[in-house]
Structure 1
Amino acid sequence: MSTINRRDFGIAVAAAMLLPATAARAETTEVHIDNFVFQPAQLDVKVGTTVTWTNRDDIPHTVVCAGKFRSKTMDTDDSFSFTFTAAGDYKYFCSLHPHMTGMIRVE
C-alpha cells in the first residue's frame, strides 16, 4: 500500500467512525399548557433534546426556569422551544400563575 493509499484509507475510516454521530437526529418533544397545567408535568429527556411548550389555554402563560430560560408571554397556540444541552433537573413555572409548575429531567 502506498502512502497516499494509507492516508486515504485513514480518512475513510475516520469518516466512517464519525458518520453515526453526525447522522443522529436531535430529539424533540412537546409539553402542552391546558387548563392551568403543564402536560406532562414531568418529562425525562436526553441531552440535546428540544422541548416545545404550546399554550392551549385561552389565557396567556409563560415558561420560566430561573437563570436558564424564559419565554415571552404566550397567547393561545403560541409556542416556546428550548434545547437542553446539559444534564440536570430543570424546574420551571408560569410567572403569571406561579402555582403552575413542571420539571424536565435531562440525562
Structure 2
Amino acid sequence: MKPGRIFPIIAALMLGVSVSAQAATIQISMENLEIMPAQVSAKVGDTIEWINKDVLAHTATARNGDFDVMLPPKKTGTLVVTKAGTFEYYCRFHPNMKASLTVSP
C-alpha cells in the first residue's frame, strides 16, 4: 500500500466510517426471447448489466416502476441498484420475458 493511502483509511476508521468492498457487476443475457438467469441476487451498489444478444429491442422494466432500461439489438444497458428489495421485471415489447432481481442491503 502506498504511504499516501494509509492516512485516509486510518481517518475513516477513527471516524467510524465504513470502508466498503468493491461493488460487483452482474451480467444478465437476453437471448432467443429469454432472460438468463431469470433469478438474480445482488447487493445495493452493484451494477446490473443486461446484454441483449437478440436482433430485437428489449427492455428491463420493473413492474413497480423503479427502473426501465432500454436495450437496443446487440447492445447492453446498465443499472446501479440503489435500494434493497425484490424487483419483478419484464420486457415491455415481449411481456412473456420475465425475471426477478433480489437486492440485499
Which is richer in strand?
2
Residues 1:71 and 2:69 are matched in the alignment: yes
- RMSD over equivalenced CA pairs, Å: 2.2
Question: Which is further off, 11-20 or 83-92?
Answer: 11-20
Q: Distance in 2 between matches of 1:48 and 1:71?
A: 17
Q: Distance in 2 between matches of 1:49 and 1:29?
A: 7
Deviation at 1:14, TM superposition (A): 2.8
- Size of the aligned set, in residue pairs, is 95
TM-score, with structure 1 as normaliser: 0.77
Q: Among residues 82, 90, 99, which one is paired with 1:93 in the alignment?
A: 90
Q: Distance in 1 between matches of 2:10 and 2:80?
A: 31
Q: Among residues 32, 56, 59, which one is paired with 1:59 in the alignment?
A: 56
1:30-77 Cα offsets, whole Å, 9 max, x none, are 00001111100000111111100010012221111141111225112x
TM-score, with structure 2 as normaliser: 0.78
Q: Distance in 1 between matches of 2:41 and 2:95?
A: 22
4+ residue stretches of structure 1 with deviation over 2 A?
11-20
Q: Structure 1 unaligned segments of length 5 or more: list them.
A: 1-10
In the other structure, the counterpart of 2:36 is 39
Higher Cα Rg, which structure: 1
Identical amino acids, percent of aligned pairs: 32
- Residues 24 and 47, structure 2, Cα contact 8 Å, conserved in 1: yes
